[in-house]
Each structure stands twice: as C-alpha cells, then as structure tokens.
Amino acid sequence: MEKLKKVLAVSSIGGHWIQLLRIAKPLEKEFCVEYMCTHLKCATMVEGKQFYKIEDFSRWNAYKILPAFLQDIKLLRKIKPAVVITTGAAPGLICILAAKVCGIKTIWIDSIANVEHLSASGKIAKKIADRVYTQWSDLAEKNVFYKGNILG
C-alpha cells in the first residue's frame, strides 16, 4: 500500500479555521492531513485526525512569537509533513516561517475577508511562502495566485 503524503493544515481559531477546514477536508481523499490550531476545541471538528494545539498570539502580544516559532520547529520535526498549508493569521505565518527553516514546502491562502488588499500577514507570507493564493481575482499579482474562493 502506498503511503500518502502528509499535509499539515494550520490556522488560528475562528474564520481562519473554518476556511482552512473547507480547503483541507477535500484533501483528505488524496493526502494524510493533520491539523494544527490555536484552540483545543477545534480538535472536535477533525475527529479521527491528528491534531496539535499551538500558541495563539497577534501583533499585540508579539513577545509570544519566539516561543511559538520554537514550538513549531519542534512539532514540524516530529510530524515531518511534505507541505504546510495555512489560512493565517499570525500563528499560521510563524508556522510557515518555521517550515521554511525546516526545508518544508509551504502554501499561504489569504483570508476571504481581505477583499481590497492582502492581509498584513499575507504581505509577509508572499515573501517567504512557496506559494501564495488570494481568494479574490482582483488581488492576484506576480507570485499571488487566484484559483477561486471558499464561497464559489
């Protein structure tokens, strides 16, 4: 039996998590998808799948970035995914950075809520992620791709 490639799907709780589930759930047919989020209650939405809890933070409590980054590196070395996919926000961005340090491919999908411009994290992600997607065709640009949105 062929071993499925492992995908680690990462996000913050809330809208980012809901969007991530809509994107990652269909991937479960072809890949071994494991999930990582900032709140344990999200594990109930992916029962039967491996779930990891990570630290939540934002630009308002940036002192948590370094501990989160180190936690991500430790988890990524344990999980060994082929790719990390995230819908954000800051914890997803830091996980993308940790994945790059570990030599893991990365995909950033900017939130559908960002209608007029990429999110602050998305603007940083387009400099470090292997692939960046927007959910609005008007926001596509060099190295930021549009392939649809979770509503369509």
Q: Per residue, what are the HEC states of 87-100?
A: EECHHHHHHHHHHH
Total structural domains in the chain?
1
Q: What is the token pair recorded at 9?
A: 């799907």
With respect to residue 17, please indicate whether it lies within any of the assigned structural domains: yes
Q: What is the average per-residue pLDDT within 2-25?
A: 94
Give the H/E segment covering residue 53: strand 51-53
With respect to residue 152, please indicate whether it lies within any of the assigned structural domains: no
3-state secondary structure of 104: coil
Backbone angles phi, psi at 143, to 5 degrees: 70, 10
Task: Kindly report, residue by residue over 59-97, the tens digit of the pLDDT.
Answer: 899 999 999 999 999 999 999 999 999 999 999 999 999
Q: Which domain holds residue 23?
A: 6-146
- The partner residues of 26 in beta bridges, in order of sequence, read none
Question: What global pTM score does this model have?
Answer: 0.95
With respect to residue 132, please indicate whether it lies within any of the assigned structural domains: yes
